[in-house]
């Protein structure tokens, strides 16, 4: 029996890390159910992908060669057909930008309850998930009253599968209804180029929502100058166009690994942390002692940035 | 062309709060227009100002309290609003239940374009728009941060991870989920706020929409504050004291050394 059907993710010829995390999570759930873990990889170089996905704990990899790149209409149709054939207890998908573009449609088409952005899960008497709410301020337990569920997992929460396994590879012949493919991907665009590459900086002074007003950015620029550091920011600052896109650290911006990362007025939402947790030393300045940024900080100051930053500038310029 | 915008009222939590059962204690909650939906409303209003849309209608699933939030969307330029509420609603309305409600509203309104935020700031599910699109058989695109519309095809950018955008053409009628940063949401003007008072908010129950009852398969059974795993060295004292201590650490790391 197929306990779990996990759908791998790739982009522009490469499997994304979450594919291996889906195997990790999928194996745990399949063990809870005492059933098999199947992985499907759709579009692109599927044979090559299948070799990489043949990890310990994966019983079968299904290859579906239709299409070159991700197209949600193709992914939705194929996943629906695979689920109809395999009847897994769990259809497991990534809570990525592309996952959000087909996972909810799969759940709707299959009539399965959907749990998204899952950070922990088990399937014993029933499916139970852990999710965050209110910008990661709280965690919640969600129980599902159904034997068949659709689940989307957050990246970075499960260890990625490593050991190679003795996995069977099967080609799945999907029946694609071309008239139901109503979106066309016409290309990709790299954004955030320009005058500076924050991923090269050794010291980053990073500013977040706590700065309040555009004119206050100047204060942080002054600090960056005093520390001979590069200025970066979290998403809201770029959304407000207070700094250009090439300064954005996080999931949709740049991933940075400087020697020192100073987060000022940044709460530390998971999307931001994903882009800077590899920094050597992390310093956080924030008024909220419970802000998640302190979970990953090495040094912290719980105080008003408008008091601390001027004092810090004095220290280096005085 | 008619644009339907899904507008949610979300709870925002203060820094210090208490949990009551499996929910935030009401005393620590404030209610506001969902940040992502604010961008969706702005995008719709701009389509109307450009002459591409004739009418912008908002739909909200929410209790009477949410009318304050709905008036905010009306003050920003939406023409009229629908609010769906039923005395049978309790606990969590899951994606499938919201989809059923919105499907019934779409059947009545027959919009040409449906816009909604990528997610709500409180539950952070991020699924209703695409689920709705599948249910009503509209084309869709999720996590859109740029939109150009020629009346037939929506040319969008989808904001992928790592500073990459996917360029996609979507046939319409369509559902688009809108990412923050796509535009600059306006503040409601005094005139807009005054006008909003006389705009229609049609309240509908499940029976009005021809729906029987809705079952949610998801139950929120626990809520708790995550364990703090911080092993950060937190500097104590006033701002001058902490700045001196931090400066010491930074100098050790070679920061500021010329």
Give A300-318 pLDDT, tens digit per residue. Answer: 999 999 999 999 999 998 6
- State both tokens at A196: 């500076």
Asked if B23 is an interface residue toward chain A (Cβ–Cβ < 8 A), one would say no
Do A139 and A273 reside in the same domain of the chain?
A: no
pLDDT in tens, B185-223: 999 999 999 999 999 999 999 999 999 888 889 999 999
Query: Where along chain B do its domains lie?
Result: 2-204
Contact A83, A75 (CB under 8 A): no
Q: What's the pLDDT band for B80 if we cut at 50, 70, 90?
A: very high
* Inter-chain CB proximity A100 and B127 less than 8 Å: yes
Asked if B134 is an interface residue toward chain A (Cβ–Cβ < 8 A), one would say yes
Contacts of B171 in chain A (CB under 8 A): 182-183
- State both tokens at A28: 């745990």
Do A254 and A298 reside in the same domain of the chain?
A: yes
Domain residues for the domain of A44 are 2-180
Contact A153, A94 (CB under 8 A): yes
Q: Which residues of chain B from 208 to 247 reach within 8 Å of chain A, CB to CB?
A: 217-226, 228-230, 232-235, 238-240, 242-244, 246-247
Alpha helices in B165-226 (DSSP H): 190-196
Q: What's the pLDDT band for A116 if we cut at 50, 70, 90?
A: very high
The mean pLDDT value for A11-21 works out to 95
SS3 B90: coil
The pLDDT value recorded for residue B126 is 97
CA distance A203 to chain B (A): 7
* Inter-chain CB proximity B126 and A117 less than 8 Å: yes
Query: Does residue B133 have a pLDDT over 90?
Result: yes
Do A112 and A160 reside in the same domain of the chain?
A: yes
- The DSSP bridge pattern shows strands B218-224 and A138-144 to be antiparallel
In Å, how far are A57, A93, A107, A188 from A29, measured between CA atoms?
A: 11, 13, 18, 35
Q: Give domain status of residue A13, yes or no.
A: yes
* Inter-chain CB proximity B134 and A76 less than 8 Å: yes
CA distance A207 to chain B (A): 17
CA distance A143 to chain B (A): 5
CA distance A97 to chain B (A): 6
- Report which secondary-structure segment, H or E, holds A29: helix A17-33
* Inter-chain CB proximity A136 and B225 less than 8 Å: no
Domain harbouring A261, CATH code: 3.40.50.1220
Q: Which residues of chain B from 163 to 192 reach within 8 Å of chain A, CB to CB?
A: 163-171, 177, 180-181, 184
The pLDDT value recorded for residue A255 is 92
Among residues A149, A180, A211, the one where a domain terminates is A180
Class of B2-204 in CATH: alpha beta
- Three-state SS letters, B46-63: HHHHCCCCCEEEEEEECC
Q: Give domain status of residue A116, yes or no.
A: yes
pLDDT in tens, B145-168: 999 999 899 999 999 998 899 999
The total number of structural domains in chain A stands at: 2
Contacts of B11 in chain A (CB under 8 A): 134
Find, among A314, A3, A312, the residue nearest to A151 by Cα.
A3
**Mutation target vs A (from B255, B256, B257; most A CBs, 10 A cutoff):** B255
Maximum alpha-carbon separation in chain A: 71
The pLDDT value recorded for residue A18 is 96
CA B76 – CA B61 distance, rounded (Å): 19
Give residue B158's Cα distance to chain centre: 17
The pLDDT value recorded for residue B15 is 81
Contacts of A254 in chain B (CB under 8 A): 162-163
Q: Which residues of chain B from 52 to 71 reach within 8 Å of chain A, CB to CB?
A: none
CA B93 – CA B100 distance, rounded (Å): 11
The pLDDT value recorded for residue B244 is 95
CA A93 – CA A116 distance, rounded (Å): 9
Query: Does residue B36 have a pLDDT over 70?
Result: yes
- The DSSP bridge pattern shows strands B19-20 and B23-24 to be antiparallel
* Inter-chain CB proximity B139 and A182 less than 8 Å: yes
pLDDT in tens, A206-228: 999 999 999 999 999 999 999 99
Contacts of B21 in chain A (CB under 8 A): none
Query: Does residue B226 have a pLDDT over 90?
Result: no
* Inter-chain CB proximity A103 and B121 less than 8 Å: no
Q: Give domain status of residue A137, yes or no.
A: yes
- The DSSP bridge pattern shows strands B29-33 and B9-13 to be antiparallel
Residue A301: burial class (beta carbons within 10 Å; 0-12, 13-18, 19+): buried
Residue of A nearest to B164 (CA): A190
CA B179 – CA B183 distance, rounded (Å): 9
CA distance B208 to chain A (A): 23
Do A66 and A100 reside in the same domain of the chain?
A: yes
Q: Give domain status of residue A185, yes or no.
A: no
* DSSP code, position A55: B
Q: Give domain status of residue A44, yes or no.
A: yes
CA B26 – CA A17 distance, rounded (Å): 39
Beta-strand runs (E) in B172-225: 174-178, 201-204, 218-224
Do A63 and A166 reside in the same domain of the chain?
A: yes
CA distance A188 to chain B (A): 5
Contacts of B226 in chain A (CB under 8 A): 132, 136, 138-139, 292
Q: Give domain status of residue A135, yes or no.
A: yes
Do A176 and A258 reside in the same domain of the chain?
A: no
Contacts of A70 in chain B (CB under 8 A): 166
The pLDDT value recorded for residue A136 is 86
Q: Give domain status of residue A189, yes or no.
A: no
Query: Does residue B257 have a pLDDT over 70?
Result: no
Q: What is the mean pLDDT of chain B?
A: 95
Q: What's the pLDDT band for B85 if we cut at 50, 70, 90?
A: very high
What does the DSSP assignment read for A3-18? Answer: EEEEE--EETTEE-HH
The mean pLDDT value for B219-234 works out to 89
- State both tokens at B49: 């100002």
Residue B213: burial class (beta carbons within 10 Å; 0-12, 13-18, 19+): exposed
In Å, how far are A278, A304, B54, B125 from B13, measured between CA atoms?
A: 29, 19, 37, 17
The ipTM is 0.94
Do A17 and A161 reside in the same domain of the chain?
A: yes
Residues in chain B: 258
The pLDDT value recorded for residue A186 is 94
Q: What's the pLDDT band for B239 if we cut at 50, 70, 90?
A: very high
Contacts of A228 in chain B (CB under 8 A): 255-258
* Inter-chain CB proximity A300 and B99 less than 8 Å: no
The pLDDT value recorded for residue A166 is 86
Domain harbouring A133, CATH code: 3.40.50.620
* Inter-chain CB proximity B222 and A141 less than 8 Å: yes
* Inter-chain CB proximity A100 and B164 less than 8 Å: no
CA B172 – CA B138 distance, rounded (Å): 7
CA A34 – CA A46 distance, rounded (Å): 28
Query: Does residue B2 have a pLDDT over 60?
Result: yes
In Å, how far are A30, A75, B21 from A24, measured between CA atoms?
A: 10, 21, 32
The pLDDT value recorded for residue A135 is 87
Give residue A246's Cα distance to chain centre: 20
pLDDT in tens, B38-64: 999 999 999 999 999 999 999 999 999
- The DSSP bridge pattern shows strands A203-207 and A260-264 to be parallel
SS3 A197: coil
CA distance A86 to chain B (A): 22
Contact A70, A98 (CB under 8 A): yes
CA A174 – CA A182 distance, rounded (Å): 18
């Amino acid at each position: 029996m197929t306990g779990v059907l996990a759908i791998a993710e790739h982009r522009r010829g490469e499997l994304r890390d979450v594919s291996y995390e889906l195997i990790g999570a999928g194996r745990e759930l399949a063990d809870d159910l005492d059933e098999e873990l199947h992985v499907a990889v759709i579009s692109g170089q599927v044979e090559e992908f299948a070799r990489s996905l043949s990890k310990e704990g994966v019983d079968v990899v299904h290859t579906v060669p239709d299409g070159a790149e991700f197209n949600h209409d193709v992914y939705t149709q194929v996943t629906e057909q695979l689920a109809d054939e395999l009847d897994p207890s769990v259809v497991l998908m990534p809570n990525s930008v592309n996952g959000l573009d087909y996972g909810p449609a799969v759940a709707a088409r299959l009539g399965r309850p959907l749990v998204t952005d899952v950070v922990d899960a088990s399937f014993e008497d029933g499916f139970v998930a852990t999710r965050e709410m209110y910008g990661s301020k709280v965690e919640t337990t969600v129980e599902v009253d159904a034997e068949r569920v659709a689940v989307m997992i957050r990246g970075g929460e499960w260890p990625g599968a490593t050991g190679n396994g003795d996995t069977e590879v099967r080609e799945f012949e999907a029946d694609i209804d071309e008239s139901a493919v109503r979106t066309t991907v016409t290309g990709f665009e790299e954004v955030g180029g320009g005058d500076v590459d924050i991923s090269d900086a050794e010291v980053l002074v990073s500013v977040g929502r706590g700065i309040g007003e555009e004119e206050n950015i100047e204060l942080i620029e002054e600090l960056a100058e005093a520390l001979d550091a590069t200025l970066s920011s979290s998403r809201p600052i770029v959304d407000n166009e207070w700094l250009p896109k090439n300064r954005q650290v996080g999931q949709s911006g740049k991933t940075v690994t400087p020697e020192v990362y100073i987060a000022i007025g940044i709460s530390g939402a998971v999307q931001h942390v994903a882009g800077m947790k590899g920094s050597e030393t992390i310093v956080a300045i924030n008024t909220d002692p419970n802000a998640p940024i302190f979970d990953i900080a090495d040094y912290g100051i719980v105080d008003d940035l408008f008091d601390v930053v001027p004092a810090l500038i004095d220290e280096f310029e005085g | 062309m008619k644009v339907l915008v899904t507008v949610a009222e979300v709870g925002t939590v203060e820094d210090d709060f208490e949990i009551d059962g499996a929910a935030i204690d009401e005393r620590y909650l404030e209610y506001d227009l969902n940040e992502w939906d604010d961008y969706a409303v702005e995008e719709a209003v701009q389509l109307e100002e450009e002459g591409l849309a004739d009418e912008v209608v908002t739909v909200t699933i929410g209790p009477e309290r949410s009318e304050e939030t709905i008036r905010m969307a009306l003050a920003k330029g939406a023409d009229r609003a629908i609010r769906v509420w039923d005395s049978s609603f309790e606990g969590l309305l899951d994606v499938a239940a919201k989809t059923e409600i919105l499907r019934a509203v779409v059947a009545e309104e027959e919009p040409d374009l449906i816009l909604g935020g990528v997610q709500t700031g409180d539950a952070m599910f991020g699924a209703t728009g695409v689920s709705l699109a599948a249910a009503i058989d509209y084309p869709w695109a999720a996590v859109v941060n740029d939109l150009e519309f020629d009346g037939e095809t929506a040319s969008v950018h989808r904001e992928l991870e790592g500073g990459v955008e996917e360029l996609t053409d979507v046939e319409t009628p369509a559902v688009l989920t809108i990412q923050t940063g796509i535009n600059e949401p306006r503040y409601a003007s005094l005139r807009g706020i005054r006008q909003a008072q006389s705009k229609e908010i049609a309240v509908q129950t499940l029976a009005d929409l021809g729906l029987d009852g809705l079952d949610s398969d998801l139950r929120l059974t626990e809520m708790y504050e995550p364990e703090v795993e911080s092993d950060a060295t937190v500097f104590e004292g006033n701002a001058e004291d902490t700045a001196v201590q931090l400066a010491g650490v930074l100098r050790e790391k070679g920061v500021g050394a010329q």
